[in-house]
Amino acid sequence: MRKFGIIGIGHVGVTIAYTLVTKGIADELVLIDTNEGKAVAEQLDLEDAQARLDTTTQIKIQNYADLSDADIVFMTAGKIDAAKESGNRWAEFEYTSASVKNIAPQLKASGFNGIVIDTTNPCDAITQYLQQSTGLSTSQVFGTGTFLDTARMQRVVSEQFDTNSKNVAGYTLGEHGDSQFVAWSSVQVNSHPLEEFAKQQGQVLDYTALEKEIRLGGWSVYQGKGYTSFGIATCAVKLAEAVLSDAKLECPVSCYNEEFDTYIGQSAVIGKNGVEFVNTIPLTDDEKASFKNSAETIKEKFATM
């Protein structure tokens, strides 16, 4: 029995729900939202879809007690308008921190002891608060972090070289926010180091322009359709599948960093226990400085929570 819960069924939450149901990943799904009418509507719509699917998912709504035996809970509650208006993910902080202060005790009281995957912004701070307030281990609670930002980097670099984004490897690290950075020393195209591949192609890399395009990618989606959903939901579901299948998937997520005592986007291995271990990767001195700066930025803002 593969059982999931989704807390917050706005654009991201409902896209995760639709993916779980239509791909036949979930045997049971619990939807919880502050708007009960929305929860009822999404339950009915998903149930209608199942008459034309080859799989069946049992869908329940609005009861934290139903999460007691869930394998994975997605935390997706948010207020996207705040970020859109200001262009700053931390604009959601006041709203989302208040939401989590209400949600976490109810999740804890349910007896839930599975894995929490957080997409709520600001992702690093909210994920850390969820871990601390639920009492779950740091392995059990992690966020999508820079997993999506890394995908955006892959897209931008692939466009630069007219290749498939799956052929680009490497990491965007740090805060899922303004202080994030691309660890360019880690980036490869078609298994070649980026600088080497660029020379082979006769191209000169403009890292400043590439970084700008990567950073603006998310905001372009926000401005165009008012929210993001497909990219982040796909990241969340992929992480959930890694947990269920004990895939030992190595990827960047927001998880606890002992050195800086904060949650931050870094390479980790995801399996049946959640974060199996943090995977320390080599960085240049400048990249180490950027990582430290990002960690300090997160800690400073988290302290205001």
Question: Which range marks the domain in which residue 135 is found?
Answer: 3-143
Residue 33, marked binder: yes
Alpha-carbon span 189 to 119, nearest angstrom: 28
Surface-to-core class of residue 100, CB atoms within 10 Å of its CB (0-12 exposed, 13-18 middle, 19+ buried): buried
CA atoms 189, 190, 193, 199: torsion sign: negative
Residue 11, marked binder: yes
Q: What is the pLDDT of residue 86?
A: 54
Cα 29 → chain centroid = 19
pLDDT interval class at 31 (50, 70, 90) = very high
pLDDT interval class at 87 (50, 70, 90) = low
Q: Is residue 173 situated within a structural domain?
A: no
Which pTM was predicted? Answer: 0.95
Write the CA distances from 93 to 52, 54, 64, 80, 235, integer angstroms: 40, 40, 23, 11, 22
Mean pLDDT of all residues belonging to the chain: 94
pLDDT digits 0-9 by tens, 120-145: 999 999 999 999 999 999 999 999 99
Q: Is residue 115 situated within a structural domain?
A: yes
Alpha-carbon span 138 to 167, nearest angstrom: 32
| Tokens linked to 25 | 């990943």
Q: Is residue 138 situated within a structural domain?
A: yes
Residues recognised as catalytic: 176
- Residue type present at position 53: L
Q: Is residue 283 situated within a structural domain?
A: no
- Residue type present at position 78: G
pLDDT interval class at 98 (50, 70, 90) = confident
Q: Is residue 128 situated within a structural domain?
A: yes
Domain count, the chain: 1
pLDDT at 46 over 80: yes
Q: Is residue 165 situated within a structural domain?
A: no
Average pLDDT, integer, range 273-296: 98
Half-sphere exposure at residue 124, Cβ-oriented, CA atoms within 13 angstroms: 36
Q: At 43, which CATH number? A: 3.40.50.720
Q: Strand 3-7 to strand 72-75: parallel, antiparallel, or no bridges (unpaired)?
A: parallel
Q: Is residue 120 situated within a structural domain?
A: yes
Q: What is the pLDDT of residue 302?
A: 86
Write the CA distances from 239 to 145, 151, 194, 222, 236, integer angstroms: 11, 14, 26, 23, 5
Residue 9, marked binder: yes
Q: What is the pLDDT of residue 89?
A: 60
- Secondary structure (3-state) at 118: strand
Closest Cα to residue 5, out of 102, 77, 55? 77
Q: Is residue 133 situated within a structural domain?
A: yes
Residue 12, marked binder: yes
Give me the residues paired with residue 7 across strands.
32, 75
